Structure 1
Amino acid sequence: MRKLLDGVYIGSGLLSAGLIAAICLLVTGQVLLNLITKFGPFDVNLTIPSYADFAGYMLAASSFLALAYTLTRGGHIRVTMLLNTVPARLRLVSEVACLALGAATAGFASYYMYLLTHESFEFGDMSSGIIAIPLYIPQSVVCAGLVILTGALIDLTVRTVRAGRPMLIQTSTE
């Protein structure tokens, strides 16, 4: 089970990185087309249709897909100044409480993102750009990122309780 969960976290991180690379390629392509339009011999406007929409959807998707990977690698910003001054037992209780609250919040967000995605699918909501995109497609990727984050927070909560020590809080004595 551990390998499966870690594989999901790594897979979502890799997919996120791939989407960021795709954004870079898309924007670079549009910049090159703008340069050709401005300085080239053609008297025509060259553009990638809806490139800003595509870039925005990919940015949202990559941001949410990266959350679980970043969390499990200790990449999120944590304020530990106060926690480094309290006894180890209180640090453990604090981490478990924060992870459980985070899991509940991410679960809540996942549920309502699912409802939004389902509603967009049912009503056939489309983007308003040059190329109409069914909105449930980018919404479903955001929903998947939230579900994976919820799973990662539950996983970390269980691992922290089982280990009997904080898994994320780095102290100055450790």
Structure 2
Amino acid sequence: MEPEESVVSPSVVSSIGGGFAILSGYAFIGLSFLIVAEVAARKLFGVSFQSVDEISGYVVAVVSPFAFAYALMMAAHTRIDIFYGRFRGRSKQVLDVAACLVLAGVAAFMTRSVWQVLLISWKFGTVSIGILSIPLWIPQSLWFLGSIVFLAVAVVQLAMAARGIGTAPDGDNDPNATPNGTL
């Protein structure tokens, strides 16, 4: 009997996550230019843009879950290898599944929590207390999108771990393993 193909392939999730990682990088580059312009304007002309700190907070909050997803795709999250390296084969796969299950649970909890915050902001029409008075549902929607991407990557990693595909850093000589557990 043939194994069922997944509806969302790891390459699709990888492409989406990688695309958002690139956009996140551009957001940080733009933020860097904004901060440099703010500092230069303040030092040279005594003028401040007033809301760079507020915008910075939104950018960091929005980009963080995309960074979590990208780090997971690249197997860049910290692993505790002191004991992990001593396991082989099935034992290592069980540890991988357990770790991916916990991470997917954390991602699901985060996504649910962000959704609840977003709903409250939407319901009450909450705006930021800064000069910009941005409706908070706008940055929170992007934050929620990032959380969904992180959750999707975590679930795909969990499925790959359960199937024994590329989760261990050394691949345990599995010909189907992807390098470093990447998607």
Does the TM-score normalized on the shorter chain lie above 0.5? yes
- What SS is found at the alignment partner of 1:131? coil
CA distance in 1, matches of 2:89, 2:81: 13
CA distance in 2, matches of 1:6, 1:160: 16
CA distance in 2, matches of 1:17, 1:124: 30
Deviation at 1:172, TM superposition (A): 9.8
Q: Which residue of 2 aligns with 1:168?
A: 167
- What SS is found at the alignment partner of 1:81? helix
Q: Which residue of 2 aligns with 1:27?
A: 35
Q: Which moved more, 1:23-32 or 1:104-113?
A: 104-113
The unaligned stretches of length 5 or more in structure 2 are 1-7, 174-183
Q: Which residue of 2 aligns with 1:41?
A: none
CA distance in 2, matches of 1:137, 1:5: 24
**Is it true that 1:159 corresponds to 2:167 in the alignment?**
no
Q: Which residue of 2 aligns with 1:77?
A: 78
The code of the aligned residue for 2:150 comes to L
TM-score if structure 1 supplies the norm length? Answer: 0.87
CA distance in 2, matches of 1:17, 1:110: 22
Deviation at 1:173, TM superposition (A): 7.1
From 23, 44, 54, the equivalent of 1:15 is 23
Is the 8 Å Cα contact of residues 120 and 136 (structure 1) preserved in structure 2? yes
Q: Give RMSD over aligned pairs.
A: 1.8
Deviation at 1:47, TM superposition (A): 1.2
Q: Which residue of 1 aligns with 2:147?
A: 146
TM-score if structure 2 supplies the norm length? Answer: 0.83
- What percent identity do the matched residue pairs reach? 24
- What SS is found at the alignment partner of 1:111? helix
